[in-house]
Amino acid sequence: MAQVVGSLYASHGLFVALPPEEWAEKAKNRKYRSDVPSESFDEKVDKYDRTMRALAVLEEQLRAMKPDVLLIVGDDQHENFDFANYPALSVFVGEEFNGPDNKTRGKPDLYHKVPGHPGLAVGVLRGLLDRGFDPAFSMSDSNPERGMCHAVMRPLEFFHTYEIPVVPVLVNAYYPPQLSAVRCYKIGKAVREAIDAYPEDLRVVVVGSGGLWHTPGRPNSYLDEKLDQVMIDHLLKGDILGMAEQFDAYRVPEGDESQDVSPGVPGMTGMPGVSGPQGGTRETCNWIGAAAIVDGSPHQLVDYIPIYSSPIGTAYAYCNEV
């Protein structure tokens, strides 16, 4: 029988693993709220070094877990899906997919070829259907120019592996009307049951990709480190339902431009968002969906690094006691 042997969690924003010499150029057109601290160059170097050390710990944990398959919970941001038909939940069931790293983005001839695992993927797909969910599925890259979404490709780049078969489970965490955090929790629980029922002897490692707090490129953006800490505290205790409920209980402050999803906001649908934070912060739901697969297990925080130049709350964690 397949068994879940561990889970990994990593932020994947633009500033993650970006050399500090490039932060100022990337940030020059961003409009921060007045209370966002500025970082000296030495502070940027320190945060970059901490990020590299954190990713090295996760890579070491991945090797120790010896996975046969990675199941990555992430979200597609117009890489393969668009508003002509945008699924709330989708499972990739194909033999392989292609995707870029940070240096080859936009150069399809240089994209990495990554094996899928159709057997387990179909088992997860069927398991979700049997448990009251209605996932879409894909069997190939629908947009070869973009390749597989960055939520799947960035962890593979961080962990320096493109050889381990991958099952992407993609939740709409970003575009209104999004899945709630509690719904993502329930999806994760159903995925775990499907993995446990899969007959092949496989070691499965789950990856939660994205987050934590960030509203990139939005006016008056800021960093809510307190909410990030609440999320991390629940994760460390293995209280993933509590994590989801706390996320959904958050209410956007009146007049918060950085979380505005009203009609006319670029990149948004014009439909109302569900409760909880809006924008990129909703990638925290990817963590919640992944963590629900190991619900109740204690987690270890490697580091939480607030990067004010973005601003984004970046974090790295793992569970190796399932």
**Mean pLDDT, rounded, for 138-150:** 94
pLDDT score, position 267:
86
Res 319: pLDDT: 98
Structure tokens at 132: 């009251």
Calculate the average pLDDT of the chain: 95
Q: How far apart are CA 266 and CA 269, in angstroms?
A: 8
Q: Which residues pair with 167 in a beta bridge?
A: 71
Predicted local confidence at residue 18, as pLDDT: 85
Phi, psi torsion values for 193, nearest 5 degrees:
-60, -40
The closest of 282, 151, 311, 150 to 218, measured between CA atoms, is: 311
The rounded percent of the chain whose pLDDT value lies above 90 is 90
Q: Give the dihedral sign, CA 62/297/167/74.
A: negative
Cα distances (Å, whole numbers) of residue 97 to 20, 166, 191, 204: 31, 9, 21, 19
Query: Sorting pLDDT into bands at 50, 70 and 90, what band is 43?
Result: very high
Q: What is the pLDDT of residues 46-92, one digit of tens each?
A: 999 999 999 999 999 999 999 999 999 999 999 999 999 999 999 99
**For position 264, what pLDDT does the model report?**
87
CATH number of the domain enclosing 306: 3.40.830.10
Q: How does pLDDT run across 229-245, given as a tens digit for each residue?
A: 999 999 999 999 999 99
Q: Strand 96-99 relative to strand 300-307: parallel, antiparallel, unpaired?
A: unpaired
Where on the phi/psi map is residue 286: left (φ > 0), alpha (ψ -120 to 50), or beta? alpha
Provide the pLDDT confidence category of residue 188 given band limits of 50, 70 and 90: very high
Mean pLDDT of the region 17-39: 89
Domain count, the chain: 1
Q: Is the dihedral of CA 256, 227, 302, 73 positive or negative?
A: negative
Its pTM surpasses 0.95: yes
* DSSP state letter for 31: -
Geometric angle at alpha carbon 196, from 8 and 318, rounded to 5°? 10
**pLDDT score, position 14:** 77
Tell me the one-letter amino acid at 102.
N
What would the pLDDT profile of 200-228 be if each residue is shown by its tens digit? 999 999 999 999 999 988 999 999 999 99
What pLDDT does 266 receive? 86
Residue 11 has pLDDT above 90, yes or no: yes
Longest dimension (CA), the chain: 55
Residue 134 has pLDDT above 80, yes or no: yes
Domain that holds residue 207: 3-319
pLDDT interval class at 151 (50, 70, 90) = very high
pLDDT for res 314: 97
Q: What is the predicted pLDDT for the residue at 62?
A: 98
274 CB-side CA count, 13 A: 21
Report the half-sphere exposure of 97 (CA within 13 A, side-chain side): 31
